[in-house]
Structure formats: C-alpha cells, structure tokens
Amino acid sequence: MENPYQSPATTEADDEGTQSLRPDGTRNATQGNRFVNYLIDYVVTSILSYAGGFALGAALVDSVDEQQLAILGGILGFAIYIFYYVVLEIACGKTLGKMATRTRVVDADGNPPSAGQILGRTLARLIPFEPFSYLFGDTTRGWHDGLSKTYVVKD
C-alpha cells in the first residue's frame, strides 16, 4: 500500500527548480546542461577535425590534388566526429561536454546504453537541423535521444 502522506517523486524539483525525478531515480539534464554539452563537444570535434585535416594535408600535399584532398579531409572529419561520440559514450557514458556538466547518457531504465543505441544516437546527430530539435516538444531531449531511446541525466 502506498503511503498517502509521501509526495510523488515526479513533482520534486532539483536545484534549478525545473527537472523532475525519472522512474529510475535520476534527474534529466537541463536545457542549459545540454546547450553547454553541445558547445563543448562542437569545439572539441572541430579542433580534432581541423588538426586531422592539417596533418592529412601536410602528409599528402604533393601526392593528391586539391579536390581529392578536400574529399579525404571531409571523410577524415566525419570519421573523427563519429569516433569521438561513439568511443567516449560507450567507454565512459559521456563526452567531454557531459564530463564538464556532470551529466551522462543512460537508456530508458537508467542503465548504460548499448553500443547500438550509442551508434544510432551518434548517427541521428547528423540529421539536418537536429540541434534545433530541443526547441519543440520535450525540451530536454533532442531527436538523437528520442530515436535511440536514450536520456541525458545528471550524475
């Protein structure tokens, strides 16, 4: 029998007063957390991609033309982007952005997501305008969360 005097867990507010407890006892990350995660991860993947492109260009400058180098650079940048998210989220459950905001990725039950969920989540980030998906509906989840059935929660 439930305690009629106990307040429901879903109405309890966190330190920012906006997020409720999930059924597994964790709290969803805020929209602000998600924005900071995006910014940090964008900067890190950009730096890694530019550094990789620079190294590739320096190594191949005399053996390929500009168009081939641009294609190879694009492929390398794409690979770095996928590698960054997949490896960090499978190994740690979080990217550098999530480490900074003390958040992590979980499945619907609050467990670490499967490798397939992480890969799907990463590929869904490539949907055009996906970063704007936070502006509609459930503002703490983007399309890459909904499609992969994952959540970003506070540690």
Cα distances (Å, whole numbers) of residue 11 to 42, 99, 108: 33, 27, 19
Report pLDDT for 129.
87
Listed range (19-23, 117-121, 126-130) with the worst mean pLDDT:
19-23
Task: Indicate the residue type of 15.
Answer: D
Alpha-carbon gap, residue 122 to 116, rounded angstroms: 10
- Convert the pLDDT of each residue in 12-43 to its tens digit: 344 444 445 676 767 888 888 888 999 999 99
Q: Is residue 10 scored above 50 in pLDDT?
A: no
- Convert the pLDDT of each residue in 48-98 to its tens digit: 999 998 898 888 888 888 898 889 989 999 999 999 999 999 999 999 999
Mean pLDDT, residues 140-153: 89
State pTM to two decimals.
Answer: 0.79
- How many residues belong to the chain? 155
